Amino acid sequence: MEMKARGFLDELKRNVREYCTEQIDFETYNARQRKTWAAIQEAGPDVKELVLRAVREELPTTGPRRPR
């Protein structure tokens, strides 16, 4: 299960990297993201939770918010 989640996470990262480096256009990026997330959903709730947890842990944070 963890191997499957890691594979999905690698797909998501590769897609973002290829879009950010202009190797693919937005339409291709969007289609790939939709396909990958559909496969994650189909893999079941345990795999989905592992992928979501990994994405949350690896996203950059903005730091603490200051009151206005």
Let me know if residue 33 belongs to a domain: yes
Q: Quick one: pLDDT band at residue 65, thresholds 50, 70, 90?
A: low
What confidence tens digit (pLDDT) does each residue in 15-60 have?
A: 999 999 999 999 999 999 999 999 999 999 999 999 999 998 887 6
Q: Measured between alpha carbons, how far is 24 from 27 in angstroms, rounded to an integer?
A: 8
**pLDDT at residue 59, rounded to an integer:** 72
Q: Quick one: pLDDT band at residue 64, thresholds 50, 70, 90?
A: low
* pTM, 2 dp: 0.80
Domain count of the fold of the chain: 1
- Higher-scoring residue by pLDDT: 64, 44: 44
* Domain range enclosing 51: 2-57
